[in-house]
């Protein structure tokens, strides 16, 4: 007998330029409004627009961050300082990975004559070994 593959629900990935109200964001990430406001107070997530009279609005990155916070709360509980450190480290890791991808893509490009013109030779005493 073969097991049936479980059906997985894909998370909704908002378009890059979309902005959502706090109510819509709350529904997208399945987190109460009050909890999102607590995260804002602790600077774990920042709204795109923070006007008291106009309300809070969140973008794609904020929704992604809220999902990460909820996943981290399983491990860290309500230790917001620890969650903040992990979020900062994750952001830095993603930045470094993007830089490595950029540099590795540039290495693969064919070298021009100008690139190879400044090729320094190994000193003579090192070549003998």
Portion of the chain with pLDDT greater than 90, in percent: 53
Pick from 90, 71, 76, 82: which is nearest to 30 by CA?
71
> Residue 43: which residues within 8 A CB-CB, separation 6 or more?
84
For 72-129, what is each residue's pLDDT tens digit? Answer: 998 888 889 999 999 999 999 999 999 999 998 887 766 666 555 555 555 555 555 4
Q: What's the average model confidence in pLDDT over 32-49?
A: 92
Q: Model's pTM, two decimal places?
A: 0.66
Instruction: Give CA torsion, residues 24, 29, 31, 35, to 10 deg.
Output: -80
Task: Spell out the domains of the chain, with CATH numbers in brackets.
Answer: 19-108 (1.10.1660.10)
H/E stretch holding 102: helix 80-108
């Amino acid at each position: 007998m073969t097991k049936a593959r479980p059906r997985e629900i894909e998370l909704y990935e908002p378009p890059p330029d979309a902005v959502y109200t706090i109510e819509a964001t709350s529904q997208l990430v399945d987190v109460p409004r009050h909890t999102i406001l607590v995260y804002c107070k602790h600077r774990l997530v920042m709204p795109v627009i923070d006007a008291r009279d106009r309300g809070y609005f969140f973008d794609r990155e904020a929704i992604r961050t809220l999902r990460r916070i909820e996943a981290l709360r399983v491990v860290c509980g309500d230790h917001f300082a620890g969650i903040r450190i992990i979020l900062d480290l994750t952001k830095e890791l993603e930045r470094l990975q993007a830089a490595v991808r950029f540099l590795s893509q540039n290495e693969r490009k064919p070298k021009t004559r100008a690139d190879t013109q400044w090729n320094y030779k190994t000193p003579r005493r090192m070549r003998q070994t």
